[in-house]
Structure formats: C-alpha cells, structure tokens
Amino acid sequence: RIGALKELSQTVPNFHAPDYGSRMTSSIYVRGLGARIDQPVIGLNIDNVPVLNKDNFDTELADAERIEVLRGPQSTLYGRNTMGGVVNVYTLSPLAYQGVRLTAEYGSGDSYRFRASSYCKLSPDLGMAVTGYYTRTGGFFDNLYTGEKCDRERLGGGRWKLQWRNRKGLRIDNTLSFSVLDQGGYPYAYVGEEIVHDGQVVIRKGEISYNDPCSYRRTTVSDGLTVRYDAEKFAVSSITSYQYSDDAMILDQDFTPLSYFTLKQARREHTVTEDVVFRSRDGRRYGWLFGAFGFYRRGTMEAPVHFKRTGIEKLILENANTSPDLHYTMDADELPLCSDFRMPSYGAALYHESRFTLGHWRITAGIRADYECTRLRYHSKAGMDCSLSVNGGAPAPIRIDIDETNEIAHSYTEILPKFSVMYCFDEMRNLYVSVARGYKAGGFNTQMFSDILQEKIKWQMASGIPYEEPDLMSYEPEYSWNYELGGHFSCMDGAVRGDFAVFWIDVRDQQLTVFPAGTATGRMMTNAGRTRSVGAEAALQFAPWQLLEINTAYGYTDARFVRYDNGIGDFKDNHIPYAPQHTFSAGVAWTLPTGVKWLGDLVLQAGVRCAGRIWWNEENTLSQPFYALTDASVRIEHKHYSLDFWGRNLAGTGYDVFYFKSIGNEFVQRGRPRTFGITLNINI
C-alpha cells in the first residue's frame, strides 16, 4: 500500500526519504549518498519514463503494481544521477486487470484522500485505464504568528494509459499523466536563543512563527510512449517522453516574525527524452544489449529576493556603516534583488551490456559513454536609493545600481563501467560480487545569487569599487566507485526468503549542501574532497504458515569524510550530514478468516520504523538520535472491498527530520505526530 516514494523508507534498508515540509524538497539518501538540492542521487522511472527533475519525485503513485529498488550505481543502463540506485515504478496494466477501483480515506489533521480508476479491454489486444485522485491535508503544525496551520496541502491529478499488443510481436504503450499541487508554508521551528526586538521577545525556542506568506504550487504534465517489437532473435524498443513542470515557491526566508526578506522562486521546465534499446532474446549462454539515450531540457527561473525594513537595517546598512566617517541611511521599506535564469541543457549516451552464463556462473559486463552540456544564462539587477553623510555633514542622495548579464557553460564526458559475477545455486539462491562506477552531474548555485547581489551592494557602499565575486556559482560533478558483495537466499520451501549485501563506496568530489557562515541568506552546493561509505544491509521475509507473514529490514552505513577542509575547519573522519547511520523496519501481518463469506478475513498488522543517528552539520555537533515509530492497523479484507483502521507513530515519538540555518539562526522541522485514520477500498 505504498502511495509515495518516501514511504519506501518503511521497507527498504539504507533507503531514507525524509518527509520534509515541501514536496519540492524530495531528498533521498541511499548508503550515505544524497543531496538536498539540485541533482538527485537516485533515478526514478514511472512506467519506463525517467523523471529527470528531482522536485517532481514526491507525487502520488496511484495504482502501483510493483516497485523495484536497485541500490548501488546503475549508470550503465540508466545513466546520470543514479549513483545511489534506481527506483522503477510500474502501474497496473489494463490488459492484465479489468475492473473499477475506488478508495476513500480520512485521517488526522483533517486529511482526506480519494481515488478512482477504471481498467477495461476495448478489444482483445487493446486496453485502457483512467485514474483520478485528490488528497487534502488540513495540517499538523501551527504558525503562532498567524494562528493558522502552516503545512496544509491540496494535490490532485490523473493518468490515462493505453496499451496495444500485436500477435506479430509489436507492443505500444502510452501513458499521459498530470498533477496539480498547492501547499502551505513550512513547519520550521526555531531552536536558538530567544530573539528580542525593540525590547520584546518575538520568538522563543521551539516555536514556529513567521509573518510573511509561505507556499508552494506545482503543475506537471508528462507523456511517455513506448514502442517495442519482439523478433525471433532480438527485441528493439523506443521510449519517448515529454515532461512539463511549472512551479512557484514563496518563502518568508528568515522564518521569524521580523521583516527581513522574502523569496519568490518561479520555475518552468520542458524536457524531451529518447531511449532506443536493442537486446537479445535467446540469452541461455550469451545475452547482449545496446542502447542510445538523449535528452534536452529548457528551463527558466525567476528568483527575486525582497529585503524588508529589518533586513535593510541589519544586513545592508549595519554592514556598510563600518567607517566613522561615512554614514548611510535609507528611507525605503523594501529593496528588491532580482535574478532571472535561463538553464538549457542536453546530453547523449551510448551503452552496452553483455551477459554470460557458464553453468552456475553468470557474468555481466557493461559500459556507458555519457556526454552532457549545461548552461546558465543569468541577468541580475538591483537598485538602491540612499543618503550618505561624510564626516557628519549633511546627507547627500546617492544611487547604487547593479545590472549584469552573463553566461556560464560546462560540459562533461564520462565513461562508466560495471562488472559483476554471480554464482547461482538455483533460481532463488545466489552469491554475487560487483564493481561499478557512479557519476552525478555538476550544476549551478542559483540560490546564492541574492547573497552575491547583497555583497556587491555592501561592497560598493563601503569602498565604492566593484565587488570581485568568488567562484561560488557552479559546482563540479561527483564520482564514485562502488564495491559490493551480497546474495539472495531461500529455505523451508520458500517460507524464509531474504537478501543481504556489504558495500564500500569511494567518492571523489562529493556534492554537499552547506549553509555559508555569517548572515548569508541562501544555501549552496559545494564539493568535498573525498568521502567513503561502508556498510551492510539485509532483508528477511518469514512466513511460518500461510496466514502469518513477518518482514524485517536493517541497514547500517558509516559515511565519513576522508578529505574535506573548507578553509574554516578540517572535517576529516567526521560523519557526512543527513544520511542516517541505521535504518530498521519490522512488520507482522496475521490473517484470521472470519468464516463469514460476505465479511472476508480479519487482518491484524503491526510494525516499527527506525532511523538514526542523523548528523546535521559537518562539525558533527548537532544530530538527531536514533528514533522508532510504531504503526498498527486492523483491516476487514474481502475480494471486493477492504476497510482499514490504522494508526501511525502510536507512541507519539518526537523527532526532527531536517535542520538548517538562515542568517545565522537555526531551525528544525519536527516529524509528524501521532495520527489515526480509516481507509475504504472497493474493487468492482
């Protein structure tokens, strides 16, 4: 019953997708690798269509039939930004299932969820499915300044799926989907010492209180067309997709009741992808695969930052009035810093994989040649009218103008090999060893432009000469070598099944999200010199008899800096932030037949989900300890309906899922409290 990507954390070891305050911030951490902003560390494909924009990962996975989680670098077949792995989601096929599915749910936080889908065959070879959904959450956290819930949400969307099969081996699938999201602000609690302004306490530790509006809105449309032809000796397939995304984020970026500054980031993106694959069909001894992939992305973004009165005084004027001979004043209550971006990018790749079967041995070798070019065209401007008093004289009006246009371009060419050897005892039991190279593309620090404009204004006010900006606008790609040993096992006629793995990941130039020191307003991506991640994971499914099933999964990761000195501190041997050291989940489901035909079975479920410790900074001075969340449900299950009474975080465990800084102030996001709900499913 997984309905979103972040819910995979419940069952997949060393897979951590925090429930952040916005669906835009859909960060995923796998085996110590991950990033909060920009490029993802894991790939996502929905019905074979790659979702290239990480901001669109957190969406409704309506009617998912199965989900594959492939951990470790998957660059050979799936390309860029798959250092941590790939998640493949496949929805129900109208050729395999026909009927009507209805879902209605109500839960804590005044939350509703509705879903309706219809699957039918228009002819023996043609099937169609239509799905629609709507979710609403009233919210769990109060903004004390406004007295309203700050984490409300509305999400609606749908999917139209068409499948056709030809008896001569031709298949055509097309999936069109869309979604519309409207979220409130961010439940970020202040965790520093109380802030006093004009003799009054404006915010205390643990409070969520900010005065300017916060929201996130997103509209997405995607269409994926898959055409496949199966010949006698080989198969060829073409996967073509178009993706459109239009979103806008509004932030009270200081997250306090004071009027420092606000941000409105509006972005629009068009993406086209094409993947052509030739593969052998008779692979008893030797199998092969050749593919070519290409994409083009055209993105635009507007990101104006508006400094308000407190921000002008504290961040602009106080920093400019450092000389006793010069004194600046400003009457305006608002100072806009405007930045517009054009971000076109394109890439192409050729890849091959060979598979050899020698008795019980299976050997796989693959290689991918990947090329990418990305550009940033930006226009930044700011204008400030102020008065300057020299040596106590009469103030004279002056104006500071900044208007700059520039372009940055980077291109990358990578060779990504992969090699694995597996010994198969039978179809269910095996041991394997693999070596693979991973790669994550570089990018641009667009969130730093307001800080750069702010510094240029202060520099001109203080010295009167142009500000020479440091090289903070871009960051380099990230590379890794992944070494893994693992296996799958089964015993007691399949009643016990599981898998395990141990791994070592050597990473060069790992991309890290950092918060600049001092009163900086943004955050940026930087490259650490070298890191390494070592760990183990295991999953076990135990069904001692037909009506009882137990699932457990455990992951351990020790991810540390090998070499990272940012000029302020040396973080060698410290833990990498945001990636949990331990993940653990366990669940039991017990089915009790009622003996009443119209009632069905009674299913009792209970489980626990755990994560931690999670370090919040490179210094390793702040962290979230290991925590456990307990869940349970009671379900009446019939082949035509089910009624589920459920509870999550039943112990009311308090925990944090995120930490950050803004202008030197520290904030955390609290995890969701204890929640209850009821879910009705109807299958006709």
pLDDT in the model for residue 463: 57
Three-class HEC string of 314-376: HHHHHHHCCCCCEEEECCCCEEEEEEEEEEEEEEEEEEEEEEEEECCEEEEEEEEEEEEEEEE
pLDDT in the model for residue 650: 96
Given a cut of 90, whether residue 23 has pLDDT beyond it is no
pLDDT in the model for residue 199: 83
pLDDT in the model for residue 487: 96
pLDDT in the model for residue 337: 86
The helix or strand, by DSSP H or E, that contains position 126, with its residue range, turns out to be strand 126-137
Given a cut of 60, whether residue 4 has pLDDT beyond it is yes
pLDDT in the model for residue 515: 63
Q: Are 4 and 67 in contact (CB under 8 A)?
A: no
pLDDT in the model for residue 109: 92
pLDDT in the model for residue 517: 57
Rounded CA-CA distance 523/448 in Å is 6
What percent of the chain has pLDDT above 90?
Answer: 53
Confidence class for position 472, pLDDT limits 50, 70, 90: low
Token code pair at residue 142: 């109060």
Q: What average pLDDT does range 628-657 have in this prediction?
A: 94
Given a cut of 70, whether residue 456 has pLDDT beyond it is yes
Beta-sheet strands, E only, within 63-125: 64-71, 85-91, 99-107, 111-123
Residues with Cβ within 8 Å of 596's Cβ and at least 6 positions away in sequence, in order, are none
pLDDT in the model for residue 462: 60
Given a cut of 60, whether residue 466 has pLDDT beyond it is no
pLDDT in the model for residue 153: 93
Q: Which of 43-52, 151-160, 468-477, 489-498 has the highest mean pLDDT?
A: 151-160
CA angle centred on 273, ends 116 and 303, rounded to 5°: 85
Tell me the three state secondary structure of residue 615.
Answer: strand
Rounded CA-CA distance 523/399 in Å is 29
pLDDT in the model for residue 440: 83
Q: Which of 76-85, 307-316, 433-442, 522-531 has the highest mean pLDDT?
A: 433-442
pLDDT in the model for residue 399: 83
Q: What is the pTM of this model?
A: 0.88
